[in-house]
Structure 1
Amino acid sequence: MVLYIALGIAFLIPLGFLYFINKRDLFDTGKIYFVVVSMMWGVMAYLLAARTNPYIIDAGWATREQVIRITGPILEELLKSLILIYLVRRADFNYVVDGAVYGFGAGIGFAIIENYEYIVGNPEIAIVVAVARVFSTNLIHAAGSGVIGVALSVRRAEKSAVKGWLWILLGYLFSMSFHMIFNTLVSTGIAVVFAVIFGGTGVSLIYLAIRRGLNIQKEFISEKLGELNRVTKNEVKALNRIEELNKLLKPLTLQFGEEKAGKVKTMLSKQAEIGIKTKLLDTTPNESRKREMGRIIDSLHAEMETLRNEIGPYCMLFVRQVYLSQDMNLWGSINARVAESSTGQKGGGLWDRAASRVQSSKSEEDE
């Protein structure tokens, strides 16, 4: 029974950390199936490392201590990052937040399967091993690949090739060094509390990277939606309050129900992704990938059109009226202007026409 409890701890708590990091993606641009793919690759990376590290020792290329402190961390970070290199190059990849989350997922997948080996190998202290690992070693694995994911993401959006490759180099060097320092400290008998602090530091770095990435994404969205749709300064200011989205949608939920509010939230995410992808087009040299990204943007517009029809004009009028009166025109920031621009009408579109008809109807009733 104790063994099963330990295995449960080693599985559920790392997933909880991944859930926490994934929820920091406020624009919801990441794809959950890519998070799962990253985790599965992390498992595969562990299996490859588990075969390669002993081979290096048996071949006499390095001692066991050298593998633990030097070659192991280098090999493991390289293996975990392979899935990130693939995902970052995809046309449907967005920016730093996606890279951090996918990287964190790869590290968690690696850590979970590694936990099982250590726990099963030490059944008499299984729970102690599980708790110690999930709050230290697991976070090191997740943070290391998360940092590499961030570096690869920055390279994707960097116009200068030299700066882009420098970011990648720094990302790999930091992750490998961070991992090597941790392994060295643990192998010399560092107290568990310091190992936990080290792991917490790694997660904090990923959290800060995501926060910074969100701010940059806000700039992307504001710039591109502003260029295309004449977003006002107040609307751009409101966009910076995306963290308050659930609070802003509360009146809408009370008036129209959770289903409508959920669709509005989904539409806002589509708008955000359009802004981010439009910005990334500027730094994508590959014409084939540009065309693919263009098709994705067109698809997002089509999905928004469907959602807009499902939400209905009166619900959207309510959204605009409430947020405008609160000086929090979130809809105007990342939704209405894009939706309106697709109709080809200046300063109007579906919602202004609907508003005009409502006002006209009221005037006729007054007469």
Structure 2
Amino acid sequence: MLNLTAALAPVLCLLGLLMLMDSFKLVPMRFVMQALAAGAAAALAALALHLQMIDSLDVPIPIVTRLTAPVVEELLKLAFVIYAVRCRRVGFPVDAGIVGFAVGTGFALVENTYYLLALESPGLLLWLVRGFGAAILHGTATAIAAIIAQELAARRHGQGFSVFVPGALAAIAIHGIYNQFVFPPVVATLLLLIVLPPLLLGIFTRSERATREWMSAGLDLDVELLKLVLSDNFGQTRLGAYLTELRSRFPGPVVADMFCLMRLELELGIRAKGTLMARDAGLDVPMDDEVHAALAEVRYLEKAIGPTGMMALTPLQVSSERDAWHKFLLSEQRRSSGAA
């Protein structure tokens, strides 16, 4: 029992600490569980591949451990991070880091459980090294990769899979250095604990401040833009003039749908930021039926406008790439409210 605790508890405790530090509660528990499951699946896939290389291809274990494992394992863990960023399930470094660390945690739990079952009566020191060393490494490396990917995606407005390359290389490098066994395991574990967790916690603290600043400024901007959109003078603005110009290229009903979509995006953005501010203050704001209806209407309008119309609407998209995740936030809040 003591070995099990030493092997599994440290990484779970750090994941819990990161979630407690997220005062905005950006990541729903359901999504954390999905990330844990994805990490566990990645560990099973990596284990099967490594055993195949060792048993069937006669690849030496040191080659697998030092060269193959860092690349294969980090890329497998990155798969769920790619999904989360590309599908806009994360919007800030804070929630990207939590999701990445959860993936690494799921990976570490399966990996350490396998070794617990496979190794015969190892000493407690081994499980302390694996629990505080390898497990924390898996979580932190994937968290750093996720944070870098989210930051680049927000700055470059997505731009394909290139945003994931720097983070993947960083995670592989961190993992690869640890697996070279330059220092004795205990020393390597102590060095890892001195460097990686404080680095991750520092990034979280900075990201929390940036998130709070973005929310305040973004909420004010959304409110002012919504007032402008609903005013009688909207047609005299550049946004209104562009929308009028689109009437020569698209049918009138489609242009009307574009206007409605722009208004709804602003309203949902205001609602999402207001929800986050309430969470930061310790309040839980339930979602009402109006939010559910608005989310459904956005999906309908996007389909009605079509791909070409959505491309033409790009100059009118007043929300940023980072704002785009707010529909996921509101839909998850609506789901949890309904469950309650």
Q: How does 1:27-42 map to 2 (within 5 A)?
A: 27-42=24-39
C-alpha distance in 1, partners of 2:151/2:29? 21
SS at match of 1:125: coil
C-alpha distance in 1, partners of 2:40/2:67? 21
Query: Residue type of the partner of 2:174?
Result: F
Query: Residue type of the partner of 1:221?
Result: M
Pair 95,102 (structure 1): closer, same or farther in 2 beyond 3 Å: same
Matched, 1:140 2:134: no
Deviations 1:34-62 (A, max 9, x none): 11111111111111101111223445485
C-alpha distance in 2, partners of 1:299/1:130? 37
Superposition deviation, residue 65 in structure 1: 1.5
C-alpha distance in 1, partners of 2:55/2:318? 47
Query: Residue type of the partner of 2:131?
Result: V
Q: Provide the residue aligned with 1:266 in structure 2.
A: 284
Q: How does 1:54-203 map to 2 (within 5 A)?
A: 54-58=51-55, 60=57, 62-159=59-156, 167-185=163-181, 190-203=184-197
Matched, 1:20 2:17: yes
Superposition deviation, residue 91 in structure 1: 4.1
Deviations 1:230-256 (A, max 9, x none): 7xxxxxxxx9xx99x99xx7xxxxxxx
Query: Residue type of the partner of 1:283?
Result: E
Superposition deviation, residue 125 in structure 1: 2.8
Contact 1:138 1:199 survives alignment (8 Å): no
Superposition deviation, residue 155 in structure 1: 2.9
Pair 78,113 (structure 1): closer, same or farther in 2 beyond 3 Å: same
Instruction: Flag structure 1 segments of 5+ consecutive residues without an equivalent.
Output: 231-238, 250-261, 269-278, 307-367
Pair 16,145 (structure 1): closer, same or farther in 2 beyond 3 Å: same
Instruction: Count residues with an aligned counterpart.
Output: 259
TM-score of the superposed pair, with normalisation by structure 1: 0.61
SS at match of 2:6: helix
Query: Residue type of the partner of 2:203?
Result: A
Contact 1:40 1:106 survives alignment (8 Å): yes
C-alpha distance in 2, partners of 1:300/1:42? 24
TM-score of the superposed pair, with normalisation by structure 2: 0.65
Superposition deviation, residue 146 in structure 1: 0.6
C-alpha distance in 1, partners of 2:126/2:4? 10
Contact 1:135 1:199 survives alignment (8 Å): yes
Contact 2:93 2:204 survives alignment (8 Å): yes
Pair 200,82 (structure 1): closer, same or farther in 2 beyond 3 Å: farther
Contact 2:108 2:138 survives alignment (8 Å): yes
Give the one of 217, 232, 247 matched to 2:211. Answer: 217
Deviations 1:257-303 (A, max 9, x none): xxxxx5xx2249xxxxxxxxxx993227xxxx95x8558659979x9
Q: Who wins on radius of gyration, i.e. which is larger?
A: 1
Pair 47,295 (structure 1): closer, same or farther in 2 beyond 3 Å: closer
Pair 65,298 (structure 1): closer, same or farther in 2 beyond 3 Å: closer
C-alpha distance in 2, partners of 1:298/1:16? 28
Q: Provide the residue aligned with 2:221 in structure 1.
A: 227
SS at match of 1:177: helix
Q: Give the percent of matched residue pairs that are identical in Structure 1 and Structure 2.
A: 22
Q: How does 1:303-322 map to 2 (within 5 A)?
A: none
C-alpha distance in 2, partners of 1:131/1:149? 26
